[in-house]
């Protein structure tokens, strides 16, 4: 999987549940909530005041190593 700004959080979690800690790190603790699962990475980072490119880099590194 390759994560982009438009990738939906639910799709990332469905691809690999081990990615959940990356979202917890940015303060996103309601991963089971339907609205959070439907958000894009960019939307979530905007709400949580996080640099989207940093999170994308971490997630893509995770997927490339696993």
Residue 20 confidence (pLDDT) above 80:
yes
Question: What is the percentage of the chain residues whose pLDDT exceeds 70?
Answer: 100
Query: Of 12, 44, 3, which is closest to residue 27 (Cα–Cα)?
Result: 44
Out of 25-29, 38-42, 59-63, pick the least confident.
Answer: 25-29
Residue 37 confidence (pLDDT) above 90:
no
Q: How confident is the model at residue 60 (pLDDT cuts 50, 70, 90)?
A: very high
The whole-angstrom separation of Cα 6 and Cα 9 is: 9
The pLDDT of 48-57, averaged and rounded, is: 94
The pLDDT of 33-53, averaged and rounded, is: 88
């Amino acid at each position: 999987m390759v994560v982009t700004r438009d990738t939906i959080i639910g799709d990332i979690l469905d691809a690999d549940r081990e990615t959940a800690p990356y979202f917890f790190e940015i303060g996103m603790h309601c991963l089971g909530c339907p609205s959070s699962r439907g958000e894009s990475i960019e939307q979530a980072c905007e709400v949580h005041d996080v640099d989207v490119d940093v999170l994308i880099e971490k997630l893509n590194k995770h997927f490339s190593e696993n």
